[in-house]
């Protein structure tokens, strides 16, 4: 399959990479239909994120069609069009139970401050991301959500990071609705 391939700071290209495999019964393989380049991908591109390894594929904002599911995936099915949030979360650890999915310690046992993130260096778990034709999605019962048929895919992909991040910033900033 074709995928973005990091070759070192300021060097990226598109290469043929192996089609991802189901590695765990809760994995899904998703065929990407929309993928974004995030402003925070520039930190990877500039070589500023620790342990960004040559050969990795960026991309934490994507949607796609479920192509394959592992034997323990019950929440999504082959053929579903799904939105995949950028945080990879197990749904079961102490952080996930408090809905602090970004801190999941199962998806990124090496880290203390951040859970797994698609396409965001080995500091964030070393998962290949969605700037590719196909992605392996771990814990597929937890993160992916079916996209309602009436939703425009161009809108849906914004829910993978951009809109929730902005929403959280507005909430943390104490922005209030002004009624005129
Ligand atoms: Zn992003
Ligand atoms: Zn967790």
pLDDT score of 51 more than 90: yes
pLDDT at 2: 98
Distance 2 CA to ligand 2 centre (A): 30
Any idea which ligand is nearest the CA of 40?
1
pLDDT score of 17 more than 90: yes
H helix count then E strand count, the chain: 4, 9
Return the biggest CA–CA distance within the chain.
56
Distance 166 CA to ligand 1 centre (A): 11
Q: Whole-angstrom Cα distance, residue 125 to residue 147?
A: 26
At 73-102, the pLDDT tens digits run: 999 999 999 999 999 999 999 999 999 999
**Contact (Cβ atoms closer than 8 angstroms) between residue 66 and residue 82:** yes
Distance 7 CA to ligand 2 centre (A): 31
pLDDT at 179: 81
Q: Across the chain, what does the average pLDDT equal? A: 95
Q: Whole-angstrom Cα distance, residue 109 to residue 107?
A: 6
Distance 119 CA to ligand 1 centre (A): 10
Burial string for 123-155 (b: 16+ CB within 10 Å, else e) reads: bbbbbbbbbbebbbbbbbbbbbbebeeeeeeee
Ion ligand 1 contact residues with beta carbon within 5 A: 38, 161
At 98-113, the pLDDT tens digits run: 999 999 999 997 777 7
pLDDT at 86: 94
Any idea which ligand is nearest the CA of 44?
1
pTM of the model: 0.93
């Amino acid at each position: 399959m074709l995928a973005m391939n990091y070759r070192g700071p300021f060097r990226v290209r598109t290469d043929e990479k192996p089609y991802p495999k189901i590695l765990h019964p809760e994995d899904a393989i998703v065929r990407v239909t929309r993928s974004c380049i995030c402003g925070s991908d520039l930190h990877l591109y500039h070589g500023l994120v620790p342990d960004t390894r040559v050969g990795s594929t960026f991309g934490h904002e994507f949607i796609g069609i479920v192509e394959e599911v592992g034997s323990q995936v019950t929440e999504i099915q082959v053929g579903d069009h799904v939105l995949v949030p950028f945080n990879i979360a197990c749904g079961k650890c102490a952080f996930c139970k408090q809905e602090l999915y970004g801190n999941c310690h199962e998806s990124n046992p090496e880290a203390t401050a951040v859970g797994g993130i698609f396409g965001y260096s080995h500091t964030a778990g070393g998962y290949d991301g969605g700037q590719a034709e196909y992605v392996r999605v771990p814990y597929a019962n937890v993160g992916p959500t079916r996209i309602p048929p009436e939703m425009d895919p161009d809108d849906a992909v914004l829910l993978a990071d951009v809109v929730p991040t902005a929403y959280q910033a507005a909430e943390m900033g104490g922005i209030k609705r002004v009624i005129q």
